[in-house]
Amino acid sequence: MVVQGTEPDYLTRPQELTLPETVPQRFMKCPICKKEVKLGDPEMPFCSERCRLIDLGMWSAEEYRIPGPSVETAPKPEDEDDE
């Protein structure tokens, strides 16, 4: 039950993930510059907004490809009435 005038719990919680000090810190590498990034960092999996924007630009320029068989577009069949 929510009492009027109080905010729900999800609005007051911090946006950043915080782990207890007893849990060892886990890191991963930024896919762009290879710096270490904590798993709870706000820009994760990137180390910064700059690396995030570089990655976005690479996707929009179609520099990334998902592996798979090449898809050929079939030629359009010509109308038979043109003969």
Residues 36-76 pLDDT 10s:
998 888 888 999 999 999 999 999 998 888 888 877 766 77
Per-residue pLDDT, averaged over 6-25, amounts to 60
Give me the domains of the chain, ranges plus CATH numbers: 24-64 (3.30.50.10)
User: CB neighbours of 25 closer than 8 A, spacing ≥ 6?
Assistant: 19, 38, 39
Query: Percentage of the chain with pLDDT > 70?
Result: 60
Tell which wins on pLDDT, 7 or 77.
Answer: 77
Cβ contact 34:12 at 8 Å: no
* DSSP letter assigned to residue 82: G
Distance CA 5, CA 60 (A): 45
Confidence of residue 1 (pLDDT cuts 50, 70, 90): low
Cβ contact 39:26 at 8 Å: yes
